[in-house]
Amino acid sequence: MPNDIELFIDNRPVRVPAGSTILQACKAAGVDIPTLCHMEKVSSNASCGICVVELEGAKSLVRSCVQAASPGLKVQSASPRVMEARRTVTELLLANHPDDCLSCLRNNSCELQAIAERMGVRKKPFPRTRKPAKPDTIGLAIMRDNDKCILCGRCVAVCRETQGVSAIDFAGRGVRSHIAPFMDKALSQSVCVSCGLCTLVCPTGALTERDECDEVFAELYDPKKVVVVQTAPAIRASLGEALGLEPGSLVTGKMASALRRLGFDKVFDTQFTADLTIMEEGSELLHRLGNGGTLPMITSCSPGWINFIETFYPSLLPHLSSCKSPQQMFGALAKSYWAEKAGVDPASVVVVSIMPCTAKKHEAKRPEMRDAWLWWKEKGAESEPYFDVDYALTTRELARMIRRAGIDFAGLPEEDFDDPLGRSTGAATIFGATGGVMEAAARTAYELVTGKALPGIELEAVRGFDGIRDAELDMNGTKLKVAVAHTLKNARALLDGIAAGTSPYAFIEVMSCPGGCLGGGGQPVSTDWKKREARRQAIYREDRSLPERKSHDNPSVQVLYKEFLGKPLGHLSHELLHTEYKQRSV
């Protein structure tokens, strides 16, 4: 390429685009430089100092993540001086670090642990300089243990740059430096939206999801409980990766099989209620369009996004669809429709969700999410109040449960979900990727309005990883402009347009996480966009493989309306499937 430059890494020539860093040049040369603070597509503060390299003619070592590669530069990536410096940096980090590896959630997936091993650290020669920190464990979704924090700054950068939230920052100076929310409050008392992206990027166990595996095992061992599980669309494209299979492995059947072996009484699918969401949300959009309702209407299935708009843009709440997320629709139906149909006491039903998302833990415990209990109460049933969803586990937690139970995941047979809450269409599968809800809604809304199928069922314009994408649908002469955003920083740009009265859109999809749920904060720890792309491809493969690809074609959803709900937006739908949002004050 004309703009390429040539330099030398360990005496071997390599060509890279002008503007590359030395770290990128080393990667191109097949040299793996260790890093602890660097991240793809997020600015680096070069704080950790692990990635140092030696340049010919230079007195000091340089940090390869921020130093530009230049023509003719001669780089030594693993000279004795470099290796000694990296080992010393690691030993200094370990000086203030507890020796908790065996009981740490990040044992075996910790970058600090891996680097200490790689650097051959066998002792801790430096004394501790920091006072032990008190863990912050009161939140429903995210746990913090600043004792394990190495001040790499990744969490601060991702929260500010990717999410535009800035819930946490550096605080204190010198040995008192630490990461904290405003005024050193607990994270759950800050503007944090529980998206969990910080847990994805944290190299250590300093930021993790609230682990609920023990509680779920206890429910599974309780003979008085009927434990049913639902799995979000994106899990089938990422669980295999969490268990050592290739990124992008599609493990739908093995996942169902593993869940049965863990002891779940019924293995259902959140995709069933993703299809239902399209029926309800599509009808709501058409109703708003036909009756002068608030537009643009914005999707409401991503709970980090709901926390964000409730915190930062409360005046725009009327734009949200009143539909609950598919997780919450499922919980309400499992403890009403399904419990009644199966003749099971709803108070004994435990609903466990497997989600790509830490914010789902928070959503499940919103005080208003007890609609099945209210529905039974109105029918005269007496019991203590219960939530519609009892536990929301992340992909990482399910992977830990499968490992703990000693299940040979790769060798499992493929099994189907149980009926009726396990049947779904390709439209539901693509909820797992940014743009998927919009495409699924278009497949149904277009057909409902025009009586014809959407030409070329795949809506390419809303696919991909660009931050904001838009499209125009022509419905019998009515042009409908729609937009899709992933990450909250991009959502902010669309909300600012609505607030300014300049938004040209009728319908907007927002997903909190990079790439949508496939890049959710509860997914296997990685910020590698190639892995996200592999998961995305897997989701679209699944869509193409399913017999039905439009939500309104789901036969079990049709039966649900016929025998229980009546019609979309009907009285029972409002009772069980819709909700209200309110300003969140912190």
Query: By the criterion CB under 6 A, which residues form the site for ligand SF4?
Result: 97-98, 100-101, 104, 106-107, 110, 112-113, 142, 148-155, 158-159, 163, 165, 167-168, 179, 192-198, 201-207
Active-site residue, 310 included: no
Pick the catalytic residue: 110, 155, 301, 513?
A: 301
Pick the catalytic residue: 26, 51, 149, 517?
A: 517
Number of CB atoms found within 10 A of residue 312's CB:
17
Active-site residue, 360 included: yes
Q: Which is nearer to ligand SF4, 112 or 480 (CB)?
A: 112
Alpha-carbon distance 275 to 417, whole Å?
15
Alpha-carbon distance 83 to 69, whole Å?
21
Active-site residue, 117 included: no
Alpha-carbon distance 47 to 44, whole Å?
8
End-to-end CA distance of the chain: 52
Q: Which is nearer to ligand SF4, 133 or 407 (CB)?
A: 133
Alpha-carbon distance 166 to 156, whole Å?
7
Helix/strand/coil for 59 = coil
Active-site residue, 517 included: yes
Alpha-carbon distance 330 to 535, whole Å?
24
Pick the catalytic residue: 54, 284, 439, 509?
A: 284
Active-site residue, 550 included: no
Contact residues for 19 (Cβ-Cβ < 8 A; gap 6+): 68
| Contact of 567 with 561, CB cutoff 8 Å | yes
- Provide the minimum distance between the beta carbon of 561 and ligand SF4 in the complex, in angstroms, as a whole number: 37
- Provide the minimum distance between the beta carbon of 167 and ligand SF4 in the complex, in angstroms, as a whole number: 4
| Contact of 440 with 278, CB cutoff 8 Å | yes
- Tell me the residue ranges of DSSP E strands in 234-298: 266-269, 297-298
Look up residue 519 and give its DSSP letter: G
Pick the catalytic residue: 368, 414, 460, 472?
A: 368
Number of CB atoms found within 10 A of residue 466's CB:
14
Look up residue 11 and give its DSSP letter: T
Pick the catalytic residue: 54, 111, 281, 397?
A: 281
- Provide the minimum distance between the beta carbon of 399 and ligand SF4 in the complex, in angstroms, as a whole number: 16
- Provide the minimum distance between the beta carbon of 393 and ligand SF4 in the complex, in angstroms, as a whole number: 17
Alpha-carbon distance 303 to 363, whole Å?
6
Q: Which is nearer to ligand SF4, 203 or 420 (CB)?
A: 203
Q: Which is nearer to ligand SF4, 207 or 267 (CB)?
A: 207
Alpha-carbon distance 364 to 579, whole Å?
13
Q: Which is nearer to ligand SF4, 181 or 420 (CB)?
A: 181
Q: Which is nearer to ligand SF4, 106 or 550 (CB)?
A: 106
- Provide the minimum distance between the beta carbon of 171 and ligand SF4 in the complex, in angstroms, as a whole number: 11
- Provide the minimum distance between the beta carbon of 313 and ligand SF4 in the complex, in angstroms, as a whole number: 15
Pick the catalytic residue: 219, 241, 310, 363?
A: 363
Residue 546 to residues 210, 259, 262, 532, 537, Cα–Cα distance (Å): 34, 21, 26, 22, 15
Q: Which is nearer to ligand SF4, 236 or 486 (CB)?
A: 486
- Provide the minimum distance between the beta carbon of 365 and ligand SF4 in the complex, in angstroms, as a whole number: 16
Residue 547 to residues 228, 342, 380, 542, Cα–Cα distance (Å): 25, 27, 41, 10
Q: Which is nearer to ligand SF4, 225 or 400 (CB)?
A: 400
Active-site residue, 323 included: no
Pick the catalytic residue: 194, 238, 249, 321?
A: 321
The tokens of 292 are what? 């002068």
- Provide the minimum distance between the beta carbon of 210 and ligand SF4 in the complex, in angstroms, as a whole number: 12
**In the Cβ-directed half-sphere of 20, how many Cα atoms lie within 13 Å?**
22
94, burial (CB in 10 Å: exposed 0-12, middle 13-18, buried 19+): buried
Active-site residue, 363 included: yes
Give catalytic residues, as residue numbers.
Answer: 281, 284, 301, 321, 360, 363, 368, 517
